[in-house]
Chains A and B, each alone.
Chain A
Amino acid sequence: MPFDLAFIWAGIIAFAVLTYVVLDGFDLGVGILFPFVQTEKDRDVMMNSVAPVWDGNETWLVLGGGGLFAVFPLAYAVVMPALYIPITMMLLALVFRGVAFEYRWKTKRWKPVWNVAFSGGSALASLMQGIALGALVQGIEIEGRAYAGGWWDWLTPFSIVTGLAVVIGYALLGSTWLVMKTTGELNEKMRGYSWILAAGTLLFILLVSILTPFQDPVYFQRWFELPGMLFSIFVPSLVAVISAILFYGLKTGHDVWPFLASLMLFVVSFIGIGISFYPHMVPPSLTIWQAAAPDSSLQFALVGTVVLVPLILGYTAYAYWVFRGKIDPDEGYH
């Protein structure tokens, strides 16, 4: 495992993607849950709970794209055409749900339209992200320096499973976030949903974990031969511990633990995917080092990143701190 610039950058990109997944995950999840509450007042509260932070969360997605373009241009150039349809659909879905944050308050007659835009956009964007992940795990066909597969290669039973897994998982992040941010009936309702969504998420984690080793012989070896087998024991045990905390938190009426445990489920699953992928940037053939830009690019970008990312994390944390606490449904809207 050479510890060089390309490796560091792979780590930074992985960090950006993970940060995106957990942050935008819960606000997309709030959107997915929109149709499952009955009153507009509840929807107002739900939307308000993420309104001040959502575009900061989505900026990590821009960093994922921009960062890949900067430090792994070849991976960016191969993956984007391969995932042309899911990426385009995700972008359009994000347009709908992003503008809904503002538009929904500007009209009475069209409010239902923007409710649908928000929930539908959130669900579709999540589904497409999951499908894109599945397609990447399956592997992308490359010839020379370009994508060589077909238009619909990304659409398989496996990618649909990963797509649904992400939708359910994001919904769990959303419901536990709302458990943390709301009071009263809405809180109770979200707690109830969290039980179902947690069970569903674990089921999908299990399903994807069983299917993944069969997508590529390399994954199979990674997980079922030493030393990788150690992970095969370690990662599931960690999932079990986290699930216990999640269910215990839901049962005892704790408001914060279920959300943190759900976040940890995503972190562990992400590490699991990382173990399968390494040393590839784009399985099955493009490694981190083949995809990397020249060292001069990596260095130049790294200098600023080392300074700016901690700063970003700092003021992002501050913004969350400013808007901490429960949302009061009786105050603050007209």
Chain B
Amino acid sequence: MFDGFSAELLARFQFAFTISFHIIFPAFSIGLASYLAVLNALWLKTGDENYLHLFNYWKKIFALAFGMGVVSGIVMSYQFGTNWSVFSDRTGPVLGPLMAYEVLSAFFLEAGFLGIMLFGRERVGNGLHMFATAMVAFGTLISATWILSVNSWMQTPAGYAFNDAGQFIPDDWWAIVFNPSFPYRLVHMVLAAYLTTAFVVAGVAGWHLLKDRTNPSVRRMFSMAMWMAAIVTPIQIFAGDLHGLNTLEHQPVKVMAMEGHYDSHPEGAPLILFGIPNEEEKRIDYAIEIPKLSSLILKHDLNAPLDGLDTIPDDEEPPVAIVFWSFRIMLAIGFAMLGIGIWSLWQRWRKRLYDDAWLSRASVFMGPMGFVAVLAGWITTEVGRQPFTVYGLMRTSESLAPIDAPAVGASLLAFIIVYFFVFGAGTVYILRLMAQPPKQDESDRMEGPTRAAGITPIQQVKPETSAAPAK
């Protein structure tokens, strides 16, 4: 099946495949964990039952998504070694400790308190349950911090030296962790996770609004999601712009590929809105461009010169078409999100937020778009880093493990089959949960909770209002 592909290409494809699947779950669980913490806090503070219904509703979805994130994440922590062992050996002294910190400070925190968050409210009481919920949310953010530091170091390496064995060794940990692109990438990614979740919530709310505009819990979550869209999207666009300027400073070649600038423009570069990259001829076919706008955006000067890929040796260029397209897909979705945010402000001002069926429909359509934008954004930055794993210092071709193409091909095939089967089924179960509206008696119970006899706390003895089945 994979005849004619090199081990390197197959290993790259395997990494791209497994990490793309994996990133979907954290992008959702980072946002959802924070959302759950907010919902629970609002319920405790205001006593408004709608917040509790929403908490219990999203909690079940979170449990599924988190489980899928855990198992797809374990794969990642071993794949560095199986497929990219030379990379692991050489960068381990610098990147390894950051990953170890991620496990120690974040994964254990999430896993340790997840059980209490999901199953433990009746056992530990509201106060400790709130604490556990906050710890899970906090854990997802710490995790994002460490892993984005690792990724950013691969993009903009700093604070390192080399030893005799050719390993990168740490010289200045502060410089390593807070490498030049890290703060921008972290903000951009966390906001992306929040927006992705907000649009999933909006999509689910929109779906149910179309069927029944009166459900107060649905109205509440739609309103919350629309506030996020209106407030966070402009911040995200601003953060993305700063991230882009930072990339221009440290990885100009990536920006050339994003912009489709094959040629240098000494007197102001055009902004190419659309076109078809022609990698053979090194030009953009059918380009629709706005003169000098790229220089204005990137250099804040209409006539500022911008170098193109013609100044870069061919063997140091990333694949332009992929970067060019994925960047545009991300941007288009970002501006569509901004449009929804503005639209919602307008309808909210007119007091018609829940009555505009087209806004609800648009929200359903945009529901999964956050994931598409996140994937497109990651493809832009990761493919844009090629042909290096550690930018400018270590090539992808030098990073590979001593493995044969058939072995990588076979494991790639196994990953593809298993992931589509397992995560396909998981997606069906999540959609099934989402298809149900949040009920006014939304059960606190997980299906299959764990309870022990004999130590039943007093809350549990009360006749429960939540005795109705959740499904």
Which A positions have Cβ atoms within 8 angstroms of B? 44, 47-49, 51-53, 55-56, 58-59, 61-63, 65-71, 73-74, 76-81, 83-85, 87-88, 91-92, 94-96, 98-99, 101-107, 110, 145-148, 151, 183, 293-294, 296-297, 300-301, 304-305, 308-309, 312, 315-316, 318-319, 322-328, 331-334
Contact = CB atoms under 8 A, between A and B. Distances in A.
Contacts of A145: 86, 89, 165
Interface in B127-169: 163, 165, 167, 169
A177 B280 CA distance: 64
Contacts of B111: 55-56, 58-59
Contact of A88 (B101, B119, B173, B414): B414
B274 interface: no
Nearest to B415: A92
B72 interface: yes
A78 B86 CA distance: 9
A61 B70 CA distance: 11
A323 B469 contact: no
Contacts of A76: 80-81, 85, 88-89, 92, 96
Given A147-B85, A312-B112, A332-B450, A66 B414 contact: no
User: Considering residues A47, A69, A293, which has the most beta carbons from chain B within 10 angstroms of its beta carbon?
Assistant: A69
Contact of A105 (B95, B418, B448): B448
29 contacts: A51-B448, A51-B450, A55-B70, A56-B112, A58-B70, A59-B103, A65-B78, A69-B95, A69-B99, A70-B99, A76-B85, A77-B89, A80-B80, A84-B403, A91-B74, A98-B67, A98-B71, A99-B426, A105-B448, A147-B401, A151-B404, A293-B96, A305-B104, A308-B104, A322-B115, A326-B452, A333-B447, A333-B449, A334-B471
A52 B402 contact: no
A80 B70 contact: no
Contacts of A84: 82, 403, 407, 411
A325 B451 CA distance: 8
Contacts of B451: 48, 327-328, 331-332
Nearest to B429: A106
Given A55-B111, A334-B471, A294 B93 contact: yes
- SS of A interface (majority): helix
A263 to B, nearest CB: 20
A59 B447 contact: no
B175 interface: no
Main secondary structure on chain B at its contact with chain A? helix
A300 B173 contact: yes
A71 B452 contact: no
Contact of B101 (A47, A62, A91, A304): A304
B16 interface: no
Contact of B81 (A81, A95, A296, A331): A81
A174 B71 CA distance: 21
Given A79-B81, A80-B401, A308-B104, A48 B449 contact: yes
B114 A55 contact: yes
Interface string B54-91: 00000000011011101111110110111001101111
A15 B164 CA distance: 31
B325 interface: no
Given A66-B100, A88-B414, A91-B74, 9 more contacts: A71-B96, A73-B92, A73-B93, A87-B78, A145-B89, A146-B402, A312-B112, A319-B112, A332-B445
A98 B69 CA distance: 10
B452 A47 contact: no
A51 B91 CA distance: 36
B62 to A, nearest CB: 10
B30 interface: no
Interface residues of B, number: 88
B129 to A, nearest CB: 10
A222 to B, nearest CB: 28
B288 interface: no
Interface string B413-429: 01100110010011001
B442 to A, nearest CB: 13
B451 to A, nearest CB: 4
Nearest to B80: A69
A95 B418 contact: yes
Nearest to A304: B101
A281 B57 CA distance: 48
A99 B105 CA distance: 24
Contacts of B99: 66, 69-70
B432 interface: yes
B266 interface: no
A301 B97 contact: yes
B455 interface: yes
Contacts of A301: 96-97, 100-101
B97 A300 contact: yes
B120 interface: yes
B422 A80 contact: no
Interface in B428-471: 429, 432-433, 443, 445-455, 469-471
Contacts of A326: 452-454
B290 to A, nearest CB: 46
Given A52-B120, A79-B81, A334-B470, A312 B97 contact: no
Contacts of A327: 450-453
B414 A92 contact: yes
B294 to A, nearest CB: 40
Contact of A59 (B107, B407, B433): B107
Contact of A146 (B85, B92, B426): B85
B100 A293 contact: no
A149 to B, nearest CB: 10
A293 to B, nearest CB: 4
Contacts of A53: 115
B72 A77 contact: no
Contacts of B12: none
A58 B115 CA distance: 13
A334 B100 contact: no
B250 interface: no
B75 A91 contact: yes
A99 B71 CA distance: 7
Contacts of A308: 104-105, 108
B170 interface: yes
Contacts of A151: 404, 407
A106 B447 contact: yes
B94 interface: yes
A94 B124 contact: no
B448 A47 contact: yes
Nearest to A147: B402
A326 B63 CA distance: 24
Which 10 pairs between the two chains have the least Cβ-Cβ distance? A73-B92, A80-B81, A70-B96, A52-B115, A325-B452, A77-B89, A328-B453, A98-B71, A105-B447, A56-B111
A328 B453 CA distance: 5
B96 to A, nearest CB: 3
A293 B64 contact: no
Nearest to A146: B402
A325 B454 contact: yes
B92 A70 contact: yes
Contact of B88 (A73, A104, A318): A73
